[in-house]
Structure 1
Amino acid sequence: MTVSVLRFHRVQLQRWILPWIVPIALIIVWEILADIGWIPVRILPAPSAIFWAGIQLAQSGELWSHLGISAARAATGFFIGASLGLTLGFINGILPIAETLLDSSLQMLRNIPNLALIPLVILWFGIGEEAKIFLVMLGVFFPVYLNTFHGIRNIDPSLLEMGRVYGLNRLQLITNIILPGALPSILVGVRFSLGIAWITLIVSETIATDSGLGYMAMNAREFMQTDIIVFSILLYALLGKLSDGIAKTLEFRLLQWHPNFQSGSKDTYPVAKV
């Protein structure tokens, strides 16, 4: 194997292993403190107890049922919200008249906390799936919209002028210059919105629902099952980490042309040059 291939594999190994060092170290310290009694079981069970609670939920099938429902809600809300945010971000970024007509209204809506709309959303949609998906969609929409709009507006005008000089039409300018130039900013919005999607889903599933990970945690609270409550919280954290890892991989694949994301160009994560 060549030196460049070995370096690439080392970079990939670092990308997957290094982010887990701190969480694993915290879990080990947590287990030790719980075993020696410094952390009361009633307040925070040991990681081993939480692990066995998760095993029991998995064996009973309850975990997979709630997990599948929550994942479907998050994916549906994210897809709708990201699609709308990307579309309106492109329209407002490319067409000044669209920005004049729509952007001010969208900014006013952005300043309304989406979770503050829960009572109104329940009146609109009831307590079914539509309410939860709508809240997730609303939380996802604005990060994608703002980053798409920002990415388009920060493209170097000289690149657009050069494209026109070479005879590119509007569609070619969009596909060859505007979209690649805005893509790093768009992917930042995607990563940010994934976290918001899970946060919104957690809250929406704890209110007037009978399924999902949030419901599982609230039901455990009624029976003082602290291990299941903490397990549900950690599961949300792991799902958020998994979502972020998928987004980072997508970012790494789609931005191979970018100097900061070229494979093997750095031994660690790409950093900005200063």
Structure 2
Amino acid sequence: MAEHVSTAVVEAELTPVVTAPERPPTVAEPPPPVRTSAAAVRPRTRRLAPGPRRPYARLLGPLLLLAVWSVASGAGWLDPRILPAPWTVLHTGAHLWTAGTLRTDLATSLWRAVQGFAIGLVAGVVLALAAGLSRIGEALIDGTVQVNRAVPTLGLIPLFILWLGIGETFKVVIIAIVVYIPVYLNLHAALAGIDARYVELAEVLRLSRWQFVRQVVIPGALPGFFVGLRLGVTGSWLSLVVLEQINATNGLGYMMFQAQNYGQTDVIVLGLLIYGVFGFASDSAVRLLERRVLAWRRSLNS
């Protein structure tokens, strides 16, 4: 009996104990994805550009000023002897145009401005290219132009009258000086601001002098050139106002000077409006030309 018990105990110790396999720990299922719109996921960006261009938007300011002037004149807030109403100025202009005096003065002023502007533009471009593309040219030209810029141009009028007389020549020369200075300064600054890496690239590609000017210099300097061109156009009209009041027998400035002697405020305001319209139109023409020529450039203005 004892042998049977010991044998059973030994067999029980030798028999492996089979246990049920352990279940892996349960993992919580992820919650279903929350559907969000693309606008909510995409980060918000602030629009920093000024936005698309509006056609004829630059006319808004002058038209608003004209509307305020008309309302103030119609309400009697403005003394007609100090500032006549817009319709009074238009009536005066129509009368002078019918009489033929306004047409003559207008043609004379335009011809003077065109002559002086053309001469000043050519002189400014030639001098800027000579000073911007050559160290010798810069040494000979830039200092002289800076001295000329520091001297008041209108202060040269008495000297030029002694040199050239009181005819048309001195008026055209003064206008040319007023025009060439901003053209030279802006074009020369644009040439000096061209990246030197473009010059090195042109040398590696073995471009000729003319190819370098045509493919690198001109495209790189055009933005600065147009800035100087706009300033030159405005300067031609500003100088013309003063010049036509000095020893002149015709022109818009002469018409305004004569109106001052007779107390004709409407004629003076008419002359100022014509100068303003000419300046605005010429500046708009240069802007349009700039957008067409520089259509390849991406900027805030484009």
Please say whether Structure 1 and Structure 2 have the same fold, judged by a TM-score greater than 0.5: yes
Q: Is 1:33 equivalent to 2:72 in the alignment?
A: yes
What amino acid is aligned across from residue 274 of structure 2 in structure 1? Answer: L
Larger relative contact order (CA 8 Å, sep ≥ 6): 1
Which residue of the partner structure matches residue 155 of structure 1? 194
Q: Which runs of 4+ in 1 moved over 4 A?
A: none
Q: Deviations over 1:161-191 (max 9, x none)?
A: 1122112111100011001100110010000
Q: Deviations over 1:181-212 (max 9, x none)?
A: 00110010000111111000110001110011
Q: Which whole-Å CA distance do the structure 2 matches of 1:201 and 1:151 have between them?
A: 28
What CA RMSD, in Å, does the superposition of the two structures yield over aligned residues?
A: 1.3
Q: Which whole-Å CA distance do the structure 1 matches of 2:126 and 2:232 have between them?
A: 15
Aligned length: 251
Q: 105, 113, 128: which is aligned to 2:167?
A: 128
Which residue of the partner structure matches residue 4 of structure 1? none
Q: 197, 206, 212: which is aligned to 1:167?
A: 206
Which residue of the partner structure matches residue 139 of structure 1? 178
Q: Which whole-Å CA distance do the structure 2 matches of 1:33 and 1:242 have between them?
A: 26
Q: Is 1:202 equivalent to 2:241 in the alignment?
A: yes
What fraction of aligned residue pairs are identical, expressed as a percent? 37
Which residue of the partner structure matches residue 242 of structure 1? 281
Q: What are the ranges of 5 or more consecutive residues in structure 1 without an aligned counterpart?
A: 1-10, 261-265
Q: Deviations over 1:12-35 (max 9, x none)?
A: 8x33x2111121121121112112
What amino acid is aligned across from residue 269 of structure 2 in structure 1? Answer: V
Q: Which whole-Å CA distance do the structure 2 matches of 1:35 and 1:250 have between them?
A: 39
TM-score by structure 1 length? 0.89
Which residue of the partner structure matches residue 108 of structure 2? 69
Q: What SS does structure 2 have at the residue aligned with 1:259?
A: coil
Structure number with larger C-alpha Rg: 2
TM-score by structure 2 length? 0.81
Q: Is 1:183 equivalent to 2:222 in the alignment?
A: yes
Of 101-110 and 193-202, the range deviating more from structure 2: 101-110
Structure 1 residue 158, shift from structure 2 partner: 0.6
Q: What SS does structure 2 have at the residue aligned with 1:167?
A: coil
Q: Which has the higher helix share?
A: 1
Which residue of the partner structure matches residue 143 of structure 2? 104
Q: What are the ranges of 5 or more consecutive residues in structure 2 without an aligned counterpart?
A: 1-51
